Structure 1
């Protein structure tokens, strides 16, 4: 194939491919916008794509190196690809292509080197797996990208048949390859390394321009072993179309700009509404906490638990915010009055609590210094039988007398009596009231 014929073939192919692009673009024109999230996972995107390509094959590569021929003839190559996009910037791509690679010694003296004028190698097939990295976008700050650069590298297997032309008939490797000369093609491993640029034509279609260098693990790709320590190589410059596969309701992951998506999520009105709702919930919680702490009458019990609101300032209260009962008074000689607090007891107990000691000590001091007599009347709450509560209340009164006698008061100065459930000072229907009724009251005779 001469160069003029190649150019015409590429032109016809390109026109046909662009026609397909226009049709695909028209079909996608009604596609709705996506609500994809940057951290929403691959399931919200189209990740598979299929491509077709065609271009020019050459025994030379862009980075130079040694070659067995001085000139190259442009020859046609063509192939297909299937790619799975694994993330915003990386995908795996399988490639298969065919074609012919041709070179000559036209510029060599006499047009012959090592007795060889030219060669043509038929590529029966070439298959490889490559990693594809999206390295940059020209318009990466825009909401939707339309131009992208990529690099590729991978590993593959090529089956080829070289045919060198010499002054005398030369060996055609096709159908004569292999150690027994009975294989159709020579097979070698190769490493493809390439780069390219892609243009977004529509939501479904992109137009790709690429260049790939193929480094073959052998020195017989062109049928010449002139440099036994070197490896042959060839390049493929191509143009192609890539079609995104999958649901039209999803965007193509290939063109997603994660920075733009993140910005859009931050500007999402629904997200702002959620933030405002969260602020309101936090404010309500803070208000509830303040309400729990509120103590209008300043008695140390919050309004939420205060059963006796409006207690005057300075009034001693119990855990429910109700005033504690006033202490009975002992009238001392000389016409002076001395008050003593009521002695409280635990449930079903006649054991004095330590907080009662200061009160009893004060009462003991008055009796020892001034004489006189005191009556200790014991009481009980309504739990238990009446007979048991009389006995319990008598034991409580005796506990007070025993303490006073042990502190130096004459036993004859203290009389005791068990009153049982009589004369409650608070309701026995509540635990707070029953606590107040478990007591001993002292009074001067």
Structure 2
């Protein structure tokens, strides 16, 4: 165990020291390749990433004394993990983790019966958790970009595992049901550091302590403390999305603000000079255009016959005064008035349509036997180009608003039907008067029936 921890410590120290050689990118006058306009939306970044890791799983942790744990000689075993992360801000992300592997230790404490176990071995089938990941090294006021990002995580999850206890040559499951498997909640807490080894690819070195909400991970209860175990790992993180976009978790927004300031300053100078040069050229062109315009203005404004069309465009010069002309200066044709009269036969067609008109009760739906007489009204409107006013009325049953709406809808229904048969919609007016204009008493059924009507006025 001590040998494995020593090797892991030497590896971590070497990477940290070596990483300092490229930890900070020198400040240059050129815009960073990770430049993003300040206050841009998340679409400008790669915010999703996945990671894989492998490392050491052990009951040993940096918290508390190992002598007080259920087994006093922890072993190091292989662990493996993966995660998917969504970066919310440059500093905060939400991470879903998977962890698997094996836990092992020797020499248990004395139990209440004065006996011990030689060892235990627990298969960690899976540990699934949701954690907050906080990056603390990506915002710098000194350098364009940091190549190292320290972070810490904390979350909550559930784990599924099978403890096996061994005494001599005998091994037994701690639990006798469900094939010895157990499900418990746990709290993962970790720290680590990421090295940017390529754009969108990070080396991830971390250490995580997992606090289990139970004392059965090793299959043995001793003392009053719940079990815990650690996972020291190395892995790779891969940013998802377009390679042209920077990864949000390693992006330094301060550098983008500085770059934006420099670009805006230079762009302002260039823009001002361009505007000055353009204005000088525009003034010279205006002088030339003004001279040409003054020379040609007379022929474009002279109107000898006073018809409102300049001689340059007038195709009919010398038009008599007061004559209405078109755009080319030629007289407009005189329209002849054609009078169309409403005959008694026309009125009979309309009266028949009124007499045969029926709607579904309380609705604006025209009943089918009314179609024939309405068709003759439509033919009349098309043939003689008459205008028609439709006035809808109701009795006083119901509210004023409902009756007004129903009378309007019925008049509009007739208009829509006539238009569908070819009548000119602009020559049909549909109005609803509700119960305001009765022609009979609303106190009798016959009177109310007479008041429920649609009047046709042909003109």
TM-score normalized with structure 2 length:
0.49
Equivalent position to 1:207, from 199, 203, 210 = 203
**For residues 164 and 123 of structure 1, what CA distance do their matches in structure 2 show?**
15
Whether contact under 8 Å (2:138, 2:251) holds in the other structure is no
5 Å matches for 1:45-56? 45-56=45-56
**For residues 275 and 259 of structure 1, what CA distance do their matches in structure 2 show?**
25
Q: Which stretches in structure 1 are left out of the alignment for 5+ residues?
A: 12-31, 282-445
Q: CA offsets per residue over residues 193-232 of structure 1, 9 Å max, x none?
A: 00001100011211010000000010010010122x3210
What SS does structure 2 have at the residue aligned with 1:267? helix
Q: Offset of 1:141 from its aligned partner?
A: 2.2
Whether contact under 8 Å (1:3, 1:73) holds in the other structure is no
**For residues 85 and 231 of structure 2, what CA distance do their matches in structure 1 show?**
19
**For residues 139 and 73 of structure 2, what CA distance do their matches in structure 1 show?**
36
Aligned to 2:33: 33
Aligned residue pair count: 249
Q: Offset of 1:270 from its aligned partner?
A: 6.4
Confirm whether residue 196 of structure 1 aligns to residue 198 of structure 2: no
Confirm whether residue 252 of structure 1 aligns to residue 247 of structure 2: yes
Q: CA offsets per residue over residues 267-307 of structure 1, 9 Å max, x none?
A: 11467518976xx99xxxxxxxxxxxxxxxxxxxxxxxxxx
Aligned to 1:132: 133
Q: Which stretches in structure 2 are left out of the alignment for 5+ residues?
A: 12-31, 277-459
Confirm whether residue 117 of structure 1 aligns to residue 111 of structure 2: no
Q: 1:256 to 1:34 in 2, by over 3 A?
A: closer
CA RMSD of aligned residues (A): 3.4
Whether contact under 8 Å (1:192, 1:213) holds in the other structure is yes
Aligned to 1:93: 95
Structure whose CA Rg is larger: 1
What SS does structure 1 have at the residue aligned with 2:232? strand
Q: CA offsets per residue over residues 234-266 of structure 1, 9 Å max, x none?
A: 000000000111001211111111111111111
**For residues 242 and 218 of structure 2, what CA distance do their matches in structure 1 show?**
46
Aligned to 2:104: 102
Q: 1:155 to 1:212 in 2, by over 3 A?
A: same
**For residues 275 and 220 of structure 1, what CA distance do their matches in structure 2 show?**
72
Whether contact under 8 Å (1:139, 1:146) holds in the other structure is no
Whether contact under 8 Å (1:104, 1:119) holds in the other structure is yes
What SS does structure 1 have at the residue aligned with 2:172? coil
Aligned to 2:77: 75
Q: 1:257 to 1:67 in 2, by over 3 A?
A: same
What SS does structure 2 have at the residue aligned with 1:136? coil
5 Å matches for 1:32-431? 33-65=33-65, 66-105=68-107, 114-137=115-138, 141-167=142-168, 169-173=170-174, 176=175, 181-183=177-179, 185-227=181-223, 229-269=224-264, 272-273=267-268
What SS does structure 2 have at the residue aligned with 1:208? strand
**For residues 197 and 191 of structure 1, what CA distance do their matches in structure 2 show?**
20
**For residues 94 and 114 of structure 1, what CA distance do their matches in structure 2 show?**
41
Q: CA offsets per residue over residues 361-385 of structure 1, 9 Å max, x none?
A: xxxxxxxxxxxxxxxxxxxxxxxxx
**For residues 254 and 137 of structure 1, what CA distance do their matches in structure 2 show?**
7
Q: CA offsets per residue over residues 331-378 of structure 1, 9 Å max, x none?
A: xxxxxxxxxxxxxxxxxxxxxxxxxxxxxxxxxxxxxxxxxxxxxxxx
Q: Offset of 1:169 from its aligned partner?
A: 3.1
Q: 1:274 to 1:186 in 2, by over 3 A?
A: farther
Aligned to 2:407: none
Q: Offset of 1:184 from its aligned partner?
A: 5.3
**For residues 161 and 80 of structure 2, what CA distance do their matches in structure 1 show?**
15
What SS does structure 2 have at the residue aligned with 1:268? helix
**For residues 140 and 198 of structure 1, what CA distance do their matches in structure 2 show?**
20
Whether contact under 8 Å (1:138, 1:148) holds in the other structure is no
Whether contact under 8 Å (1:75, 1:99) holds in the other structure is yes
